[in-house]
Chains A and B, each alone.
Chain A
Amino acid sequence: MVGYALKRLLGAIPTLAVIVVVTFLLVRLAPGGPFDEEQPLPPEIRANLEAAYGLDQPLTVQLARYLRGLLRGDFGPSFKFKDFSVTELIATGLPVSLTLGSVAMLLAVLLGVPLGVVSALRHNRPTDHLVMGLAVLGIAVPVFVVAPLAALVFGIYLDWLPVAGWTPGEWRDIVLPATTLGLPVIAYVARLTRGSMLESLRSPFVRAACARGVPRTRRIWLHALPAALAPVVSYLGPAAAAVLTGSLVVETIFGLPGLGRYLVQGALNRDYTLVMGMVIVYAAMMILLNLLVDIAYAWLDPRVRPGTRH
């Protein structure tokens, strides 16, 4: 198991390297540079600036320098957030984004799975139709519509939760953003769980358990459910992608100081180093999450578990 995880971790390195190089080259394809202001700079100042940031070197030298910096955890200076290095911005934003993302994913599993199970148990009855109807809505209505609505209803009309802001350790700040972020994932997980639960409830081993006199609750949650979880686990990878993407909007709407906001502001200001740093961090997170999902999958399903013989 550990060997498998290590092998996968090593395999992730080339993927990340390709993403770094591709983004670097894409950014350098740009027709303009970071110092193209509305008023053109005097050529000497421009040359000095470019020399200071190493932009006068050939592309390969710049790439090598950037990669060397990355290995030391140095993402370079931000062009527009003066006095901040991209590494510093990442250090402030990452904890916020990680908290938000993990709470959203946790909610998705903790709410989505039971909803799916209940739906499957009440197959084709009003509860089932209600849950699945809500699920379709949750999937089709994009986060950037849900988030303002949620802020309006729960933050302003009902005044239950804060609409914006972030104080470390204050759980009330995260309820609204994490729920809106998790909503589509909850809906999708519920649908997946329902589908595979329906199948697993009808399968021979559950009927066998029934015949052996295993109590109903135990049968549902300990026999049928684990067998039904495989599709949910393999969906967690794409779910993580959805959460990361959604967090761009959620962080902007709720004013959370996470990575997403820096990425959006970096994109608006054409702050190349900032955008590249953020994209690399997001890519690393994605790859790591997918790795965890694969490992969890192998752990859950003995047929996929490497190194076992039958």
Chain B
Amino acid sequence: MRAAAQRGLWSDALRRLLANRAAATSLLGLALLAGIAIVGPGLSPYAPDQLDWSMMGSPPDWASRHWLGTDRLGRDLYVRTLHGARVSLAIALQATLVSLLIGVTWGAIAGYAGGRIDEVMMRFVDVLYALPNIFFVIILTVVFERSPMLLFLAIGAVGWLTMARVVRGQALSLRHREFVEAAVSCGAGPGRVVFRHLVPNLLGPVVVYATLMIPQMILIESFLSFLGIGIQEPLASLGNLISDGAAEMESAPWILAVPATCLVLIVFCFNFLGDGLRDALDPREY
């Protein structure tokens, strides 16, 4: 019998992920979309805020190189949608990162500490759960200046609740395991135990949940931009492009169709990828 090649948890998971057709396609699709969003605008002769006076509200037209048409002000829709996708993706990724930092820290501390501290910390999470988090984001955007930077901070600052619950559950189940006791008996302080020993061991569910969080964040950002509370003109985001399109859809449906398709594609891909990751990292599901 040949010795099995050494395989760790992560390489195993990767193999399972790539065997899942929907997830692998989504991963490829996302990579492609991200690539186009980065390189694509450079291929067009137009800038995102450039007005083409001769082609206002034009449908897709190859001769003038407005591949996906223009909006009411004559701005190239292809370039604007890709810029919007960049902004939306960047904000979603940063917001996820912020939520990740807060949620993992909060949950790991609560779970490791246990007892009274855990109860108080999780009760706070329960209370904030009572209100859909979009409302907190709206309050934060009312209170602070509207800028892309604060937008992702605000979205991230309210998105960490579920993450905290997931991590706390994991931390609770891990805190009496031998490796934690070993670390404690070697003289590691609580901070070191939590961040050097506990957190690396609960990354599996965190990665899955983070992947599923990104599309949520994209939707929240687009939602706010659609309502006019998020990203402001002249900066494009998928949300405010869809909002523009919705206003013009009767006479120029492509202004809505282009960004809406892009958004739906991104959200679809992330959802399938997240589901695939969950199956890949949690073999019990099979």
Binding between chains A and B: yes
List chain A positions with a Cβ less than 8 A from chain B. Answer: 15-16, 18-19, 22-23, 26-27, 29-31, 140-142, 144-145, 147-149, 152, 156, 241-242, 244-245, 248-249, 252-253, 263-264, 266-268, 270, 272, 275-276, 279, 282-283, 286-287, 290
A287 to B243, CA, bound (A): 31
With contacts A152-B253, A252-B227 taken as known, whether A245 is within 8 angstroms of B132 at the C-beta atoms is yes
A5 to B145, CA, bound (A): 42
With contacts A148-B256, A252-B227, A264-B228 taken as known, whether A140 is within 8 angstroms of B144 at the C-beta atoms is no
**Which of B130, B229, B249, B253 is close to A286, meaning CB atoms less than 8 Å apart?**
B130
| B211 CB–A CB distance under 8 Å | no
**Which of B131, B229, B253, B256 is close to A283, meaning CB atoms less than 8 Å apart?**
B131
Q: How far is the CB of B277 from chain A (nearest CB, A)?
A: 17
Q: How far is the CB of A300 from chain B (nearest CB, A)?
A: 23
With contacts A140-B267, A253-B246, A286-B132 taken as known, whether A26 is within 8 angstroms of B140 at the C-beta atoms is yes
Asked whether, in the complex, the Cβ of B142 is within 8 Å of the Cβ of A287, the reply is no
Question: Mask for B172-210, Cβ within 8 A of A = 1, else 0?
Answer: 000000000000000000000000000000000000000
| B30 CB–A CB distance under 8 Å | no
With contacts A19-B130, A145-B242 taken as known, whether A140 is within 8 angstroms of B264 at the C-beta atoms is yes
Write the chain A residue with the least CB distance to B268: A140
Q: How far is the CB of B245 from chain A (nearest CB, A)?
A: 8
Q: Tell me which residues from 134 to 177 in chain B have a Cβ below 8 Å from any Cβ of chain A.
A: 134-135, 138-145
Q: How far is the CB of B133 from chain A (nearest CB, A)?
A: 9
Closest 5 CB pairs of A and B: A148-B246, A30-B143, A241-B132, A144-B226, A145-B260
- B residues less than 8 Å from A29 (CB atoms): 143
Q: How far is the CB of A51 from chain B (nearest CB, A)?
A: 23
With contacts A26-B139, A140-B268, A142-B263 taken as known, whether A264 is within 8 angstroms of B227 at the C-beta atoms is yes
Write the chain B residue with the least CB distance to A270: B142
With contacts A18-B127, A152-B253, A286-B131 taken as known, whether A144 is within 8 angstroms of B138 at the C-beta atoms is no
A141 to B142, CA, bound (A): 27
A15 to B138, CA, bound (A): 20
- B residues less than 8 Å from A156 (CB atoms): 250
With contacts A145-B264, A287-B130 taken as known, whether A264 is within 8 angstroms of B229 at the C-beta atoms is yes
Asked whether, in the complex, the Cβ of A267 is within 8 Å of the Cβ of B131, the reply is no
A148 to B141, CA, bound (A): 25
- B residues less than 8 Å from A268 (CB atoms): 228-229
Q: How far is the CB of A141 from chain B (nearest CB, A)?
A: 5
Question: Mask for B111-127, Cβ within 8 A of A = 1, else 0?
Answer: 00000000000000011
A94 to B141, CA, bound (A): 23
- A residues less than 8 Å from B267 (CB atoms): 140, 142
- B residues less than 8 Å from A19 (CB atoms): 127, 130-131
- A residues less than 8 Å from B239 (CB atoms): 144
Asked whether, in the complex, the Cβ of B253 is within 8 Å of the Cβ of A267, the reply is no
**Which of A142, A152, A270 is close to B223, meaning CB atoms less than 8 Å apart?**
A142
Q: How far is the CB of A214 from chain B (nearest CB, A)?
A: 34
Q: Interface residues of B, CB < 8 Å — how many?
A: 38
A144 to B264, CA, bound (A): 11
A159 to B144, CA, bound (A): 43
Q: List 30 A-B contacts (CB under 8 A).
A: A15-B127, A19-B127, A19-B130, A27-B143, A29-B143, A30-B142, A31-B144, A140-B268, A142-B264, A145-B260, A145-B263, A148-B242, A149-B256, A156-B250, A241-B132, A245-B134, A245-B223, A249-B226, A253-B246, A264-B138, A264-B228, A266-B142, A267-B138, A267-B141, A267-B227, A272-B142, A275-B138, A279-B131, A279-B135, A286-B131
Write the chain A residue with the least CB distance to B261: A145
Write the chain A residue with the least CB distance to B259: A145
**Which of A27, A148, A248, A253 is close to B142, meaning CB atoms less than 8 Å apart?**
A27
| B81 CB–A CB distance under 8 Å | no
Write the chain A residue with the least CB distance to B215: A140
A290 to B139, CA, bound (A): 22
With contacts A31-B144, A249-B223 taken as known, whether A290 is within 8 angstroms of B130 at the C-beta atoms is yes
- B residues less than 8 Å from A253 (CB atoms): 246
Asked whether, in the complex, the Cβ of A144 is within 8 Å of the Cβ of B246, the reply is yes
Question: Mask for B243-273, Cβ within 8 A of A = 1, else 0?
Answer: 1011001100100100010011001100100
- A residues less than 8 Å from B245 (CB atoms): 148
